[in-house]
Amino acid sequence: MFVYDIYGLTLGSEIECPELFSSKKQPDVFLRTRPLSEFHYEQSNYIRVEVLDSENVLVRVRDSVLILVQGNHTIWIDSRSTAPLNLIRLNALGTAMLVIMMKHGILPIHGNGILHRDKCVIFAGHSGRGKSTLAASFMKRGCPLISDDICAIKLDENNQPWVYPGVHQIKLKQDSADSLAFDLKPNNLFLKNGKYVIPMAAHLYERTPKPVQAIYSLEFHDHPEFSILPLSLVDSIIVLKEYTARFYLIDQLGLGEPHFQVCSRLANKIKVQKLRRPKDLEKLDHLVQHMLDDNLT
């Protein structure tokens, strides 16, 4: 069995996951394969997550992948799937692990985390807000990536929030990859949303948990310049709830109250700000330099 660190948990896997860092710890979550013959495939262009009951959550990836999250500790991949293995892993280590995180009290923020002066800065937002593009821009300035798409946050006994590294890869569209000089390979997985999955070299990815310094809520606007606005405590809590990855699952899993408590504790501990910027990639370099000059605070 392969053993890896991912999102503050230790995963024991029957399949090799080259996009994760190996671990010598005892697994507390397991990734296994078997025929999920009790479920059938459906024609769909989407990823659907179905809470079947208090123990079981089914992840349907279009018409090609079935993944069952069973309890707090087991992810089953349907061995009948004919989908590429990298697509199966992408969803097992993404959406399925997200459900496991929720069940373990880990807050999965839909965002990208980068390392700056030994602390994590998170760019959060809905799909298409430029989270990965902005994070990649900071990577080009020497800030390693901590996590792409999902930032796993745990609070310690002193209410200090920590981000735990995830999958060492980043998803970028062609124009962003070209603009930032990321080398696309013919074997890079291409997703339905127009993004390529790009593996990260070890020196570009942080592998240890880091304290959270700030969270930026991303928005595009029509003005030529960017703006950064601090949010009130109430608005910060709202943003943290809204940008919890697949937030609709929280209530379905019966986790509404503990989730609200975590968001409240986090909002009281760190600075949450709204970052509005033009969509034009030509303005990105100026924004990144300004934020670095301002120490990302």
What pLDDT is stored for residue 295 in this prediction?
67
| CA 100, chain centre distance (Å) | 13
Say whether pLDDT at 44 is over 70. yes
Question: What CATH number is given to the structural domain containing 280?
Answer: 3.40.50
State whether residue 50 is helix, strand or coil: strand
In the listed set 83, 103, 123, which residue is the last one of a domain according to the structure? 103
Residues 213 and 248 in one domain: yes
Q: Work out the average pLDDT over 227-245.
A: 95
Residues 12 and 72 in one domain: yes
Q: Work out the average pLDDT over 194-213.
A: 89
Residues 119 and 146 in one domain: yes
Structure tokens at 229: 């606005």
Count of structural domains, the chain: 2
Say whether pLDDT at 45 is over 80. no
Cα separation, 191 vs 194, whole angstroms? 6
Say whether pLDDT at 180 is over 90. no
Q: Work out the average pLDDT over 183-191.
A: 83
For the stretch 14-39, pLDDT in tens is 999 999 999 999 999 999 999 999 99
| CA 243, chain centre distance (Å) | 11
Residues 66 and 144 in one domain: no
Q: What are phi and psi of 268, to 5 degrees?
A: -80, -15
Say whether pLDDT at 242 is over 80. yes
For the stretch 244-282, pLDDT in tens is 999 999 999 999 999 999 999 999 999 999 999 888 777
Q: How many CB atoms lie within 10 A of CB 173?
A: 17
Q: Work out the average pLDDT over 166-185.
A: 86
Residues 52 and 145 in one domain: no
**Residues whose CB falls within 8 Å of the CB of residue 190, separated by 6 or more in sequence, listed in order:** 196, 197
Say whether pLDDT at 101 is over 90. yes
In terms of DSSP bridges, do strands 2-6 and 21-22 run parallel, antiparallel, or are they unpaired?
Answer: antiparallel
Residues 198 and 80 in one domain: no
Q: Specify burial of residue 240 (Cβ count, 10 A radius: 0-12, 13-18, 19+).
A: buried
What pLDDT is stored for residue 46 in this prediction?
82
Say whether pLDDT at 294 is over 90. no
Cα separation, 100 vs 12, whole angstroms? 14
Residues 152 and 277 in one domain: yes
Residues 19 and 78 in one domain: yes
For the stretch 207-218, pLDDT in tens is 899 999 999 999
Residues 119 and 202 in one domain: yes
For the stretch 55-91, pLDDT in tens is 999 999 988 899 999 999 999 999 999 999 999 999 9
Residues 81 and 177 in one domain: no
Give the residue from 6, 24, 48, 283 showing the smallest Cα distance to 169.
6
Show the domain range for 10: 2-103
Say whether pLDDT at 175 is over 90. no
Dihedral of the CA atoms 52, 244, 195, 79 (nearest 10)?
-30
What pLDDT is stored for residue 203 in this prediction?
79
- pLDDT averaged over the chain? 91
Say whether pLDDT at 297 is over 70. no
Q: What is the DSSP letter of 203?
A: G
